[in-house]
Amino acid sequence: MLTDQAYKDGQILLIDKPLQWTSFQVVNKIRWLIRKNYNIKKIKVGHAGTLDPLATGLLILCTGKFTKRIEEFQGQVKEYTGTITLGATTPSYDLETTVNQVFPLDHLTEDRIKSTTAQFTGVINQYPPVFSALKKDGKRLYEYARQGEEVAIASRAVQIDVFEITDIDLPNIKFRVQCSKGTYIRSLAHDFGKALNSGAHLSELRRTKIGNFSADDAISPENFEKQFSETFPQM
């Protein structure tokens, strides 16, 4: 078990974020556990790249002096796997909101679905979802969206190195993506559906890698807490 000084000097923690948790909740939980079990009044803990509540997978947490390295990890290539559901769109581009439009799928073939991914590899311009935490004029975009206010959003250049379809079972298709910082997989799903003239939304997402770090080596907040209970049984 690490010492309190080790956490202060700096640690990289690989956490497997559970479904429905925000990244902020994970950070708060881990910080609270370290403070409680070592009786520390203050300890810096931050994450290197937000995951939406409906996504699971790798969240890199940095403690103590290593919080200065967060930007370094944020800039590394990320890998995701998940499911895109064709034939329907949602305002949030995922399951946070309900379906607002449906489309036929009769025209789709396996070849067309797979070949269309080529339009979304390399450097592409992407619009962030209106239901996102990005700020405009000091207010988060999802706040505008939930109030029904329309707001102009600028596109941004992102790089997608790999966009691979791994399984097709319509209306669901499974995929793997390797991409740069700032890429919204929800937007990719939405734009992919538009290119197929079928509509689409993201129905499942898991971050599997950040640089050389893998979700296979990550532990859940629950198991992180169990490590403390085994070391500090009186707690």
Positions of E strands within the chain: 12-17, 45-47, 55-63, 78-86, 88-89, 101-102, 122-126, 135-136, 139-140, 156-169, 172-179, 200-210, 213-214
Cβ atoms of 63 and 45 closer than 8 Å? yes
Planar angle of CA 62, 21, 200, nearest 5 degrees: 110
| The one catalytic residue among 4, 9, 16, 52 | 52
**Measured between alpha carbons, how far is 120 from 77 in angstroms, rounded to an integer?**
16
Does residue 9 have an active-site annotation?
A: no
Task: List the catalytic residues.
Answer: 52
